[in-house]
Amino acid sequence: MRADGPEPTGDAALRLTWSAISDVGRVRKDNQDSGYAGPWLLIVADGVGGAARGDVASATAVQVMRRLDEPPGDDAQERLAGALHRAHDRIAELVEDDESLNGTSTTATVGLFDGRQLSVGHVGDSRAYLLRNAELSLLTHDHTFVQSLVDEGRISEEEARVHPHRNLILKALDGVRDPAPDLFSVPLQAGDRLLLCSDGASGVLDDDRLAAVLGDGTPDFAAVELVRASLEAGSSDNVTCVVADVVTDDTPRSDDLAPLLVGAAADLPRTTGAGVSDTARRATGRPAAATEALPPGAEGAIETDPEAVRYAPQPPARFMALKRLLVLVTVGGLLWIAGVAAWSWSQQQYYVGEHEGAVAVFRGIDATLPGGFELSQPYEVSDVRMDGLSSYDAALVRDGIEAAGLDAARTVVDNLAAQQFGG
């Protein structure tokens, strides 16, 4: 296989040119992201797990899945699904061998190119984008708590970007639960540009800014500038960007383009004297975080360090028999403390809803526990009647309108009153 791109297969007349960069960022001391870019395969994985060392999970996933970097057949989605499950199983083996890794997990966004289309496998909140004719399209769907609120119409995309739980993911490769990846294919054409990135970039750059930076220069330049723009926009996370152009097979080939392994997965000695690492060093004024040009098939060890936990469904702790009772007592005490803290927090939340046919400010959260225990109660009942609202406003109130605090909730009620009474 040529290092600078695949030869056309059959009637395929397209190939990829690519770049990749991963930066530890300005806040975290360790890089939990991993990435890969090659002639047939693009990957971004963002490790999570706190003290369980998410970089182990992301690096393991990339090391397992980068074996896909060869011409796929007609079963590209099946191969992607198989590789994601193998990575999931490998993480399970690591946790089985080392209890300190219990709770480690990683996102995974993977693109497998066949010369005509990109098959995508996706778990978590790393993202894949397509830039075509200066129009940016988000290909993947975040598996996050906040995205579920957006899907339900409870908050807007703009509100999601600043939501306090915006980093809480609901699905990951963790070695415990079936990852159930999203699998789909996207037809490509010459001139397309692909971006796979961790939430260190997509979480701070809106679509207009992403499109503007992504549409400029070579893949090398765009990848570096995306990292720079993310850090300047205030990203507090690791930032990993994989950029690939779709070109016709007769496009001149670069002599030094080779597969790239970046981030936590990259710990092999650099095999080329120049490349994205050197470009990034010049552009950002500091070394890029672990960016390596690799010969296909090379393997290496993994260095690891902790990152903040952000995966919601953490697997249960594995108790040792002699310590079980003590651990259970400790956990019970912690759960009680957590319950008290959660209740105290809930009583500082407010929303606008319906109470006996009137619009009211509720204190607490709009939820009911098993057994019918309500987590909220009316705090202020207004003179605004539900039957005097428009059907649209009434539906919003019945669903519950979240508010940032008591004053914000009262403002919502005042606005509804003004519409009803004309004040």
User: Between 197 and 154, whose confidence is greater?
Assistant: 197
Instruction: Return the pLDDT at 331.
Output: 73
Instruction: Return the pLDDT at 263.
Output: 95
pLDDT exceeds cutoff 90 at 288: no
pLDDT band at 324 (very low <50, low <70, confident <90, very high): low
Instruction: Return the pLDDT at 233.
Output: 95
* pLDDT tens track for 380-393: 999 899 988 888 88
Cα–chain center distance at 186 = 20
pLDDT exceeds cutoff 80 at 297: no
pLDDT exceeds cutoff 60 at 5: no
The architecture (CATH level 2) of 14-293 comes to 4-Layer Sandwich (3.60)
Domain boundaries, the chain: 14-293, 350-421
Proportion of the chain above pLDDT 70, given as a percent: 80
Average of pLDDT values for 189-209? 96
* pLDDT tens track for 56-105: 999 999 999 999 999 988 899 999 999 999 999 999 999 999 988 888 99
* pLDDT tens track for 204-246: 999 999 999 999 999 999 999 999 999 999 998 999 999 999 9
